[in-house]
């Protein structure tokens, strides 16, 4: 099972990605968030196999959130 975290500040986008991923065998959305700070925290807590992340989000953008996740902080 591939575990995916969705990170996008637009709820409609997250809903769309969730609907698409629910149709894919062996994929599971394990969490959702609307900002980069929470995306980094959830990624470190939930340890997903993949993070589908928007670049432009409040607080911390997707690029910086990715750096935080890779750094493990």
What residue spans define the domains of the chain? 1-25
Asked whether residue 73 carries a pLDDT value surpassing 80, the answer given is no
Buried b (16+ CB within 10 A) or exposed e, 31-41: bbbbbbebbbb
pLDDT digits (tens, 9 = 90+) for 7-53: 999 999 999 999 999 999 999 999 999 999 999 999 999 999 999 99
pTM value? Answer: 0.92
Q: For the chain, give me the number of helices (H) and strands (E)?
A: 3, 3
50-54, 57-61, 69-73, range with greatest mean pLDDT: 50-54
């Amino acid at each position: 099972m591939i575990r995916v975290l969705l990170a996008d500040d637009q709820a409609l986008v997250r809903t769309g990605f969730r609907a698409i991923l629910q149709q894919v065998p062996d994929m599971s959305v394990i969490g959702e968030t609307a900002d980069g700070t929470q995306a980094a925290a959830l990624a470190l807590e939930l340890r997903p196999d993949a993070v589908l992340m928007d670049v432009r989000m409040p607080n911390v953008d997707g690029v910086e959130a990715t750096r935080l996740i890779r750094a493990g902080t």
